[in-house]
């Protein structure tokens, strides 16, 4: 409690909601006392004790509590009985007690259907129906053989179509769909012979899926997948098909061998043509070279003959000039001798002068002749050098052309050999691919023991001298893949 000397603060609050003719109300609030109350020292009001309530209030509380208890006891079982839980992987159609159906399908959660009602569950996601594990689809195909099909398909039920689907099939939806699919698959499989299931299974599966999709659309069901996982054929038919495939592989192998032999023959013919062309080219080049050398020899002989003719002409002109001067000298000497009595001294002098001039002229002509001879010798040497250089150039050109032809011939032969090897590699690869494809087609749908037997047979076939060709003695062909 506060000390006597302490006076608690007083807060006066004026109310503005009072009439103007009334004095304002004031309230005194002890802040410290309020703080003590907040700290955990509340004061209990005795008027709150239920024993102090009036009798009518006590009866009212009792009746209200009883009604609430009865409501919980009755309502909770009704809630769980008149409703059902739809799992997260399902949709549901709600059917009420009078047989009426909700207008729309319900999703996952707890759904109320009332007394005697129910929910019919449908798969929310794709569901699978299988015909396997001892329950395959047995079909009598077009040629009378009985074929067993190990297959499955997936379907989905659109939520917006569930009400109509329930109106058509009620609670037997999955059973009806399974029987309907079996009937459709039997009808569709009966259109094909048994050999088609061995060699053309993909086409048959596509036709079956197309038929299933059409029937599902007519019944508001979506077919989302279809698979033929295995086909079991009769043992005798399986053996016959295996023998037919082996014969086809043998025929294909012989055809590929013929193609290889044809390629080999073509390659040999091409090589012979190239060799013949090479020999013919070499002969042509040799002939051309011989012709050029003969022409060069003829040109050299002609040049030598022309040179000799020019030298003979020069010598002839020189001799004619000398003879002419000698004759003139003799004539002058004879004239001087005839007039020797008249002018002996003059004649002698004239003779001396003429003789000196003749000697001088002879010396000049001899020098000119020597110069001409030396000039012609130089011309002959120059012509011979040019002829030798021309012959060397022709020989070099001929050698270069022969080498170029030989290089082209080697490149052509190398290209031909490369093409030959490429063709052989392509044909070998194509043969290997065809063999692999044929083996895949041959072993598709067969038991794994057949592939094992074929592999062991190929490995030991070169050493085996006798073996039983009855397939049933080797493997159990009735085993499903």
Specify the pLDDT at position 5: 47
d(CA 283, CA 230): 72
Tokens of 176: 């009806």
101 C-beta neighbours (distance < 10 Å), count = 16
Q: Quick check: 307 and 379 in contact, CB under 8 A?
A: yes
CA 458 to chain centre: 33
| Runs of H (alpha helix) within 162-234 | 162-169, 173-189, 196-199, 201-218
**Beta-bridge mates of residue 127:** 155
Residue ranges with strand state E in 407-471: none
Specify the pLDDT at position 65: 83
226 phi and psi, to 5 degrees?
Answer: -155, 130
User: What angle in degrees, to the nearest 10, is found between the helix axes of 201-218 and 173-189?
Assistant: 140
Helix (H) or strand (E) holding 258: helix 235-338
131 C-beta neighbours (distance < 10 Å), count = 20
From first to last of its 481 residues, the chain has per-residue pLDDT tens of: 444 444 444 444 444 444 444 444 444 444 444 444 444 445 555 556 666 777 777 788 788 888 888 877 776 666 666 677 777 878 888 887 676 777 777 878 777 666 667 778 888 888 888 887 767 777 888 777 778 888 888 888 888 888 888 887 777 788 888 888 888 888 888 888 877 777 777 888 888 888 888 888 888 888 888 888 777 766 656 556 666 667 777 788 888 888 888 898 888 888 888 988 888 888 888 888 889 888 888 888 889 888 888 888 888 888 888 888 888 888 888 876 776 677 778 878 888 888 888 888 888 888 888 888 888 888 888 888 888 898 888 889 888 888 888 898 889 888 888 888 898 888 888 888 888 888 777 777 777 777 777 777 777 665 555 445 554 544 444 544 4
User: What angle in degrees, to the nearest 10, is found between the helix axes of 344-443 and 235-338?
Assistant: 180
User: What angle in degrees, to the nearest 10, is found between the helix axes of 162-169 and 173-189?
Assistant: 80
Specify the pLDDT at position 312: 86
User: Cα torsion for 254, 256, 261, 262, to the nearest 10°?
Assistant: 120
Q: Quick check: 138 and 131 in contact, CB under 8 A?
A: no
d(CA 286, CA 296): 15
DSSP β-ladder status, 127-131 and 137-140: unpaired
Q: Quick check: 105 and 159 in contact, CB under 8 A?
A: yes
Helix (H) or strand (E) holding 232: strand 222-232
Residue with structure tokens 């493997």?
Answer: 475
What does pTM read for this prediction?
Answer: 0.36
Q: Quick check: 396 and 341 in contact, CB under 8 A?
A: no
173 C-beta neighbours (distance < 10 Å), count = 21
Helix (H) or strand (E) holding 437: helix 344-443
Specify the pLDDT at position 237: 61
**Beta-bridge mates of residue 4:** none
Tokens of 378: 């130089």
């Amino acid at each position: 409690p506060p000390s006597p000397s302490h006076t608690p603060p007083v807060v006066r609050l004026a109310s503005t909601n009072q009439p103007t003719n009334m004095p304002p109300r004031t309230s005194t609030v002890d802040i410290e006392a309020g703080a003590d109350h907040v700290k955990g020292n509340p004061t209990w009001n005795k008027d709150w004790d239920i024993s102090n309530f009036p009798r009518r209030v006590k009866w009212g509380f009792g009746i209200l509590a009883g009604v609430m208890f009865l409501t919980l006891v009755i309502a909770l079982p009704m809630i769980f009985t008149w409703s059902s839980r739809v799992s997260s992987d399902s949709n549901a159609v709600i059917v009420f007690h009078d047989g009426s159906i909700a207008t729309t399908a319900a999703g996952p959660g707890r759904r109320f259907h009332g007394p005697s009602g129910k929910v019919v569950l449908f798969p929310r996601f794709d569901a699978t129906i299988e015909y396997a594990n001892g329950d395959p689809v047995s079909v009598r195909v077009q040629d009378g053989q009985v074929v067993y099909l190990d297959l499955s398909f997936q379907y989905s039920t659109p939520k917006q179509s569930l009400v109509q689907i329930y109106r058509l099939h009620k609670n037997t939806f999955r059973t009806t769909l399974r029987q309907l699919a079996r009937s459709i698959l039997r009808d569709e499989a009966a259109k094909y012979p048994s050999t088609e299931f061995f060699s053309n299974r993909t086409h048959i599966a596509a036709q079956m899926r197309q038929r299933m999709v059409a029937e599902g659309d007519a019944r508001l069901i979506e077919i989302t997948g279809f698979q033929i996982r295995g086909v079991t054929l009769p043992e005798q038919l399986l053996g016959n098909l295996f023998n037919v495939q082996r014969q086809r592989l043998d025929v294909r192998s012989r055809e590929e061998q013929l193609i290889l032999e044809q390629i080999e023959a073509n390659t040999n013919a091409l090589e012979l043509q190239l060799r013949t062309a090479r020999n013919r080219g070499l002969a042509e080049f040799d002939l051309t070279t011989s012709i050029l050398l003969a022409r060069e020899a003829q040109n050299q002989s002609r040049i030598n003959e022309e040179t000799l003719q020019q030298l003979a002409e020069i010598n002839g002109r020189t001799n004619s000039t000398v003879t002419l001067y000698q004759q003139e000298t003799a004539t002058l000497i004879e004239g001087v001798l005839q007039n020797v009595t008249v002018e002996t001294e003059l004649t002698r002098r004239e003779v001396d002068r003429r003789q000196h001039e003749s000697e001088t002229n002879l010396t000049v002509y001899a020098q000119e002749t020597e110069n001409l001879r030396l000039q012609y010798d130089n011309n002959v040497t120059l012509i011979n050098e040019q002829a030798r250089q021309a012959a060397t150039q022709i020989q070099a050109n001929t050698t270069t052309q022969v080498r170029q032809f030989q290089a082209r011939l080697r490149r052509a032969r190398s290209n031909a050999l490369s093409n030959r090897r490429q063709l052989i590699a392509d044909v070998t690869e194509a043969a290997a691919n065809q063999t692999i494809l044929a083996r895949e087609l041959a072993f598709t749908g067969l038991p794994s023991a057949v592939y094992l037997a074929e592999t062991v047979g190929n490995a030991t076939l070169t050493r085996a001298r006798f073996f039983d060709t009855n397939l049933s003695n080797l493997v159990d062909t009735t085993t499903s893949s």
